[in-house]
Amino acid sequence: MARIEANGSNFNVTKNDAELLLDDKPFNYDIISLPNGDYHMTLDGKSYTISVQDKDTSSGNLSIRMNGRTVNTHLQNKLSNLLKSMGMESGKKKLKDLKAPMPGLVLSTLVEASQEVKEGDELLVLEAMKMENAIKSPQDGIIESIVVKAGEKVEKNQLLITFQ
C-alpha cells in the first residue's frame, strides 16, 4: 500500500492486476504506455492522458499533466520510507554516513577513499537473500572512508561508507 498526496488531498492506494483501491474503494483501471512516453489510463470508464512532467524518486515527488491539468503528488511507500530511514531523503543536508539497508555480505567495494562520486554511482555490492544489490551513492560527493571490506558480513544500519 502507498499513501499519495495530490493537490492537498490524501489517498491510500493499493493496486493489483484488476483493480485499484483508493481509500479502500475499488476502481477498475487499465493503463498503457504510449510511444511518446506518455500514458493512457481508463479509470472506471473515464479516459485520461497522462504525461510525467517532473519526477524525483528519492523524495517521492511527481508532477504530472493529466488531461491538460497539472497535478503535483507526493508518494509515501516502502521505498520512500526505506530511503528516509537511511537518511537519503531529497532536500536534506548532505549525508555523512551511508549505512546498510539490510543485513548481508559485502561482495565488492567499487570506490576508494578520496574518490569523487556522482549521485547514482555504484559504491559497493551487497548480497542479501541470495540477491546482489548495488548500493548507489545518494548524492554527489567525495568518499572519506570505506568502513567495510569484501567478504565481510554486515547488519542492517551498519556503517558502510563515510562522505567528506
Domain ranges of the chain: 2-78, 93-163
Task: Please name the residues in contact with 81: beta carbons below 8 A apart, sequence gap of 6 or more.
Answer: none
Report the CATH fold assignment for 2-78.
Answer: Glycoprotein, Type 4 Pilin (3.30.700)
100 CB-side CA count, 13 A: 21
Tell me: pLDDT of 51 over 70.
Answer: yes
Going by pLDDT thresholds of 50, 70 and 90, the confidence category of residue 105 is very high
pLDDT value at position 78? 73
Going by pLDDT thresholds of 50, 70 and 90, the confidence category of residue 72 is very high
pTM (2 d.p.): 0.47
Going by pLDDT thresholds of 50, 70 and 90, the confidence category of residue 86 is low
Q: Are strands 159-163 and 116-117 parallel, antiparallel or unpaired?
A: unpaired
Closest CA to 152 of 123, 125, 113: 125
Map grid coordinates 511518446 to a residue: 36
Tell me: pLDDT of 57 over 80.
Answer: no
Rounded-to-integer distance, Cα 164 and Cα 162, Å: 7
Rounded-to-integer distance, Cα 123 and Cα 53, Å: 30
Alpha-carbon Rg for the chain, nearest whole angstrom, is 20
Tell me: pLDDT of 77 over 80.
Answer: no
Mean of pLDDT values over 132-141: 90
Q: Which CA distances in Å does 9 have to 4, 12, 44, 74?
A: 8, 10, 20, 10
Work out whether the CA dihedral 54, 119, 98, 131 comes out positive or negative.
positive
pLDDT value at position 14? 87
pLDDT value at position 85? 66
Map grid coordinates 500514458 to a residue: 39
CATH architecture, domain defined by 93-163: Beta Barrel (2.40)
Per CATH, 2-78 and 93-163 having the same topology is answered: no
